[in-house]
Chains A and B, each alone.
Chain A
Amino acid sequence: MAKEVKFLQGNEAVCEGALYAGCTFYGGYPITPSTEVAEILAARLPKVGGRFVQMEDEIAAMAATLGGSIAGRKSLTATSGPGMSLKMENLGYGYLTEVPCVIVNVMRGGPSTVLPTGPGQSDVMQARWGTHGDHPAVALTHSTVQEQLEETVRAFNIAEKYRLPVILLTDEIIGHMREAVEMPEPGDLEVIDRKRPTCDPKDYLPYAPEADGVAPMADFGSGYRYHITGLNHLPDGFPSNDGKLAQADEIRQQNKIDDNYDEIVKVEEMDCEDAEIMIFAFGSTARSAKEAVKAARAEGIKVGLLRPLTIWPFPDKHLQKYKGKVNRIIVPEMNLGQTILEVQRVMEGTVPSIEGIQQIDSEPITPVTILNKIKEGK
């Protein structure tokens, strides 16, 4: 049977993805251009036995989201730049205490309020390094409304499997545009739930990782009593001032993501096989890049697109394949040069030229701008 097709807004697709993944808690505070996520889930969650709480600000919203997850519910919050800035302290708490949840950042410009209703891509580095301290980070980014739904499900899966907050880094264009979406049936997409303890509650050690580096997580209130702290902690969850232990634990957390690069990192490669020029673009900018690649190919220019669907961890291995093969890499992004720093880190010295197209005027980078850049060096 043909699948149901709905005409959805990007933010609506986040909600459909969250519900598909089994999300039953939203702790939020509304902000343009993410507000539709809160608005829709406020109506939908109670109908599936879920809870929606609007908190007094984004700081509390992040705290509530972590709390919802600790109580055993798959939890979501959505925000944009200014709200993301406020969430950072509690986000760090979520990393250290290994609480799975999904944070949607519908990117607009920045810093502060600037142009609140237009698109931006300036929060790439914030998604990696926004909260203080060393920690692993996973951030997904995507270019269509269909992907917005599917990647929300994937974000929950990664969060649940590896026990960490996952950021869905989208932007105002994808968040607010509408496209046809083929609705997945139950079973079409994988849905992963966190490991829960099966031992006797009195033997439960909340921070004793198993061989995969991940400890089973008990729901608060389910009879497994345990302690959670933002301090460095022992396997029983209580604080310890042992620096060697703190270092080893942080390295374990980083490894649980790094060791699973192949599962977590996803990219799309378009016309890359024989490419002499590579475009590296994500999110809505990748849509412009695709159109530019099509137009350039029609003129016989050998250009390809590498589009990360996982931007953190950065797709090092996928890029490295093209060392010595491409002459130029062009990195268009709606910021003043963030992703390009990572491309340089991976490819410097193996590609003659790495060039950026950078724009923060609240307008999308057009296909023509990218096409002109492609032709400039020819």
Chain B
Amino acid sequence: MARHAIRLSGSGGQGMITAGIIIAAGAAVFEGKKSIQSQSYGPEARGGAYKAEVIISDEEIYYPKVMAPEVLVALTQEAADKYSKDLVDGGILILDDLMVKTAPKGNWDVYMMPIIRTAAEKVGKAMVANVVTLGALNEICGFVKPETLEKAVLSRVPKGTEDLNKSAITAGIELAKVAKAAK
């Protein structure tokens, strides 16, 4: 049985919940897989570490929360420290090199990448860091087909931002390719 448990984390406003929704919806709506997206957060509207969780599976998913993710994305130091504790041994850790200064210690495959800088400088809007993340995440893990990811992103973003988001996906894929090649 193929079952993937993914945790996306950061600080309120970074779009990690949206990113989780996009990839989970893509798997369910366009590929007919079972998927669940959930999240947990505190009372703050902005700021504070929070996580979005996604499970993608070929079989029925009962318990909707992720207990031991195989992949963790962390876009802040606080999120990296807080949510890496139960990342499985040998799991994948994707970090933003601007916000995370010290990678948490563990037996993980670490990808330290300029996600936010790429969004701001190459794509042109820091706001699309979450979509850059998705491009990179899917290139590394292959949760959904590349065309599914594009369809899923485009079905959730505001009209008029399609090209911006497409370049964000491409930039994310490029980041992951470079990071993989460097390993």
Question: Is B21 within 8 A of A7, CB to CB?
Answer: yes
| Cross-chain contact of B64 among A7, A32, A173, A180 (Cβ < 8 A) | A173
Chain B CB within 10 Å, residue with most, of A6, A32, A179, A366: A179
**For the complex, is A364 an interface residue (Cβ under 8 Å from B)?**
yes
Question: Is B37 within 8 A of A6, CB to CB?
Answer: no
CB proximity of B52 to chain A, nearest CB, Å: 10
Whose C-beta in chain A lies nearest to the C-beta of B22? A7
CB proximity of A46 to chain B, nearest CB, Å: 21
Q: Mark A138-178, 1 if CB is under 8 A from B, else 0.
A: 00000000000000000000000000000000000100111
CB proximity of A106 to chain B, nearest CB, Å: 14
Question: Is A178 within 8 A of B36, CB to CB?
Answer: yes
Question: Is A173 within 8 A of B38, CB to CB?
Answer: yes
Whose C-beta in chain A lies nearest to the C-beta of B39? A176
Whose C-beta in chain B lies nearest to the C-beta of A118? B40
A284 to B28, CA, bound (A): 20
A32 to B40, CA, bound (A): 13
Whose C-beta in chain A lies nearest to the C-beta of B41? A117
**For the complex, is B43 an interface residue (Cβ under 8 Å from A)?**
yes
A176 to B37, CA, bound (A): 9
A290 to B41, CA, bound (A): 26
On chain A, the residues within 8 Å of B42 by CB distance are 117
**Chain A contact surface mostly:** mixed
Q: Mark A88-130, 1 if CB is under 8 A from B, else 0.
A: 0000000000000000000000000000111000000000000
Interface size class of B (residues with CB under 8 A): 20 to 34
Question: Is A287 within 8 A of B25, CB to CB?
Answer: no
**For the complex, is A40 an interface residue (Cβ under 8 Å from B)?**
no
With contact pairs A117-B40, A118-B40, A173-B38 given, residues A180 and B29 touching in the complex (Cβ less than 8 Å): yes
Question: Is B40 within 8 A of A178, CB to CB?
Answer: no
A290 to B39, CA, bound (A): 21
A23 to B41, CA, bound (A): 31
Q: Mark B30-56, 1 if CB is under 8 A from A, else 0.
A: 000011111111110000000000000
Q: Which A residues have a C-beta under 8 Å from some C-beta of B?
A: 5-7, 32, 116-118, 173, 176-180, 284, 287-288, 290-291, 294, 364, 366-367
Q: Which 5 residue pairs are nearest across A and B when measured between Cβ atoms?
A: A7-B25, A180-B28, A291-B62, A178-B37, A177-B38
Q: Which B residues have a C-beta under 8 Å from some C-beta of A?
A: 21, 24-25, 28-29, 34-43, 62-65, 67
A–B Cβ pairs within 8 angstroms, 19 of them: A5-B28, A5-B29, A7-B24, A7-B25, A7-B35, A7-B37, A32-B43, A116-B43, A117-B43, A176-B39, A177-B38, A177-B64, A178-B37, A178-B38, A180-B29, A284-B64, A287-B62, A290-B62, A366-B63
Taking A178-B21, A284-B64 as known contacts, 8 extra A-B pairs with beta carbons closer than 8 A to each other, sorted by chain A number, are A5-B29, A6-B29, A7-B24, A7-B37, A173-B38, A176-B38, A177-B36, A288-B63
